[in-house]
């Protein structure tokens, strides 16, 4: 039995290793600096990109000073211009924070307008996108800009057009998306390097323990109190 998706996954992993090392390091340094300076990590993804946001915020092995930016409409209006400012009014973003925006195409107004507002605040921005796909796409925003153009660092998840990677005989459409797992790999390696940098600089990073191990909840609760005003709200 051939494991076609496994083969495609190995191919993408190699591409990530070959092309993204410098970008991962640069993104990690932004996160390390933000946390060491008292800021937090915030992440947003619409649609399936939401999976990447929750992969780096509020989970075991990740940073306690982190928060998912939640879109209560769950992406329903991501392609409609003018909605992001209403969402961003509810989000507390400080100058020493760092924000990750995840969008495979990078063409929808929601993420583009969020990026505009984030950069107007002087906040560092990491964008995760399928870079070649995005560059070949037409922006749905009246500015004509794409999300990656606002980034301090771009992490290219190497996904293909349409975010489906495999062909099946007898089916017109390609199947099996790759952006979720490749984004996860990029972001987890970035977090690892950020934590390593903090330790090398003499700063002990506040990292979540699993709530499913003895003492985990209690450990987390103590550290969460340090950041309660930043992480326990919309």
Instruction: Look at residue 232 in the predicted model and tell me its pLDDT.
Output: 79
Instruction: Look at residue 233 in the predicted model and tell me its pLDDT.
Output: 57
Mean pLDDT of 34-59: 94
Q: CATH number for the domain including 33? A: 3.40.50.10490
pTM beyond 0.75:
yes
Residue 1 lies in a domain: no
Q: How many domains does the chain have?
A: 1
Could you tell me if 127 and 155 are in contact, meaning their C-beta atoms sit under 8 angstroms apart?
A: yes
119 φ, ψ (degrees, to nearest 5): -70, -30
How far apart (Å, rounded) are the C-alpha atoms in residues 164 and 149? Answer: 24
Residue 10 lies in a domain: no
Could you tell me if 212 and 59 are in contact, meaning their C-beta atoms sit under 8 angstroms apart?
A: no
Residue 3 lies in a domain: no
Could you tell me if 177 and 12 are in contact, meaning their C-beta atoms sit under 8 angstroms apart?
A: no
User: What is the percent of the chain where pLDDT is above 90?
Assistant: 85
Residue 198 lies in a domain: yes
Residue 191 lies in a domain: yes
Residue 80 lies in a domain: yes
Nearest CA-CA partner of 162 in 141, 137, 140: 137
Structural domain span for residue 164: 16-231
pLDDT in tens, 61-109: 999 999 999 887 777 788 888 889 998 998 999 999 999 999 999 999 9
> What is the three-state SS of the chain?
CCCHHHHHHHHHHHHHHHHCHHHHHHHHHHHHHHHHCCCCEEEEECHHHHHHHHHHCCCCCCECCEEECCCCCCCCCCCCCCCHHHHHCCCCCCCCCEEEEECCCCCCHHHHHHHHHHHHCCCEEEEEECHHHHHCCCCCCCCCCCHHHHCCEEEECCCCHHHCCECCCCCCCCECCCHHHHHHHHHHHHHHHHHHHHHHCCCCCCECCCCCCCCHHHHHHHHHHHHHHHHCCC
Residue 31 lies in a domain: yes
């Amino acid at each position: 039995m051939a494991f076609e998706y496994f083969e495609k996954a190995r191919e993408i992993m190699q591409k990530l290793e070959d092309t993204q090392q410098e970008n991962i390091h640069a993104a990690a340094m932004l996160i390390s600096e933000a946390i060491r300076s008292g800021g937090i990590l915030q992440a947003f993804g619409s649609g399936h990109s939401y999976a990447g946001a929750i992969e780096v915020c509020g989970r075991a092995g990740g940073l306690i000073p982190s928060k998912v930016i939640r879109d209560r409409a769950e992406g329903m209006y991501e392609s409609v211009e003018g909605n992001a400012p209403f969402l961003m009014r509810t989000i507390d973003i400080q100058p020493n924070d760092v924000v990750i925006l995840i969008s495979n195409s990078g063409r929808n107004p929601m993420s583009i307008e969020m990026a505009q507002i984030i950069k107007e605040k002087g906040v560092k921005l990491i964008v995760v996108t399928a870079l070649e796909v995005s560059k070949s796409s037409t922006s749905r925003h009246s500015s004509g800009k794409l999300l990656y153009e606002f980034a301090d660092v771009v992490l290219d998840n190497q996904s293909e057009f349409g975010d489906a990677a495999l062909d099946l005989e007898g089916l017109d459409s390609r199947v099996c998306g790759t952006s979720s797992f490749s984004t996860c790999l990029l972001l987890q390696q970035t977090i690892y390097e950020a934590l390593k940098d903090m330790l090398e600089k003499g700063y002990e990073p506040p990292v979540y323990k699993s709530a499913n191990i003895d003492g985990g909840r209690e450990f987390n609760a103590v550290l969460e109190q340090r950041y309660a005003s930043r992480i326990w709200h919309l």
